[in-house]
């Protein structure tokens, strides 16, 4: 399997695996990382993987609860909803998650990023932040285009689900965006989001509320 790689590439790959395993073992021993549990949405009986990272318990899959006219399947393909979850208009954030869960705020995303090692100077920075390679650690090992795949170190499994913008679908295999529950106080029609791209970081942005982004719910 490794024969197609150069000696340097093999060394980097092996080192990456060793570091990833070491981080997971350390977190497990400290009781700060757990995976393998699920939660069932009583509204439609869908079951979702959940993961505990630090003090937070997150859905480890994108939400797929249908809300007429305010949620969409990528390219209107129902199979995309099954594989990637639905894309949501921001206006649903107060009611879209199942009982006991809610759409995370910008601050709750920053808590996660801080816990996973993002530099303090980057936590509140608006725009693309690459310190700690948090994006790569959270991205899934599949669905992303060649060269953009993640390590999925924490079983968070961010998929390259794409977005819906001004009625057009774009970005599947290349990016993914998640709504937060936090509005932009300077722009009435915008709210904070997290965007994952080709690189290893995470972008802290705002998007127009009419856009369709993925949603991850976090435990109350």
Whole-prediction pTM value? 0.84
CA nearest neighbour of 72 among 61, 83, 85, 86: 86
- The two tokens of residue 210 are 């009419």
Query: Does residue 112 form part of some domain?
Result: yes
Judge whether 56 lies within some domain.
no
First to last CA, the chain: 44
Residue 128 lies in a domain: yes
- Count up the domains in the chain and report the number: 1
Query: Does residue 31 sit within a domain?
Result: no
The residue assigned the tokens 């965007």 is 195
Backbone torsion region of residue 145, taken as left when φ is above 0, otherwise alpha when ψ lies between -120 and 50, otherwise beta: beta
- pLDDT at position 52 is 97
pLDDT band at 146 (very low <50, low <70, confident <90, very high): confident
Per-residue confidence band for 59, with pLDDT thresholds at 50, 70 and 90: very high
Q: Looking at the domain assignment, is residue 3 inside a domain?
A: no
CA angle 28, 48, 39 (to 5 degrees): 75
Q: Is residue 35 part of a domain?
A: no
Residue 114: count other Cβ atoms within 10 Å of its Cβ: 16
C-alpha torsion angle, residues 185, 217, 210, 182 (rounded to 10):
0
- The answer to whether residue 29 scores a pLDDT higher than 50 is no
**CA dist., res. 216 & res. 63, Å (int):** 6
What is the dihedral angle through the alpha carbons of 111, 183, 211, 208, rounded to the nearest 10 degrees? -120
- Counted residue by residue, the chain has a size of 220
Query: Per-residue pLDDT averaged across 157-168, rounded?
Result: 97
Domain presence at residue 68: yes
Question: What pLDDT score was predicted for residue 11?
Answer: 57
Please indicate, yes or no, if residue 84 is contained in any of the structural domains.
yes
Q: What percent of the chain has pLDDT above 70?
A: 84
Contact 100, 219 (CB under 8 A): yes
Which residues constitute the domain of residue 118?
63-219
**Contact (Cβ atoms closer than 8 angstroms) between residue 22 and residue 180:** no
């Amino acid at each position: 399997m490794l024969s197609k790689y150069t000696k340097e590439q093999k060394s980097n790959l092996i080192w990456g695996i060793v570091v990833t395993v070491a981080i997971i073992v350390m977190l497990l021993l400290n009781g700060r990382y757990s995976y393998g549990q699920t939660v069932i949405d009583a509204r439609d009986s869908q079951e979702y993987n959940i993961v505990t990272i630090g003090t937070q318990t997150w859905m480890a899959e994108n939400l797929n609860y249908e809300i007429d006219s305010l949620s969409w399947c990528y390219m209107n393909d129902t199979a995309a909803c099954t594989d990637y979850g639905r894309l949501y208009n921001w206006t649903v954030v107060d009611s879209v998650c199942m009982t006991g869960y809610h759409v995370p705020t910008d601050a709750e995303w920053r808590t996660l990023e801080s816990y996973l090692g993002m530099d303090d100077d980057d936590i509140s920075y608006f725009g693309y932040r690459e310190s700690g390679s948090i994006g790569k650690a959270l991205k899934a090992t599949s669905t992303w285009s060649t060269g953009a795949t993640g390590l999925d170190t924490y079983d968070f499994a961010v998929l390259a689900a794409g977005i819906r913008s001004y009625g057009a679908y774009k970005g599947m295999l290349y990016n993914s965006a998640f709504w937060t529950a936090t509005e932009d106080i300077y722009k009435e029609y915008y709210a904070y989001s997290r965007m994952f791209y080709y690189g290893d970081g995470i972008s802290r942005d705002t998007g127009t509320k009419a856009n369709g982004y993925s949603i991850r719910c976090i435990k109350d």
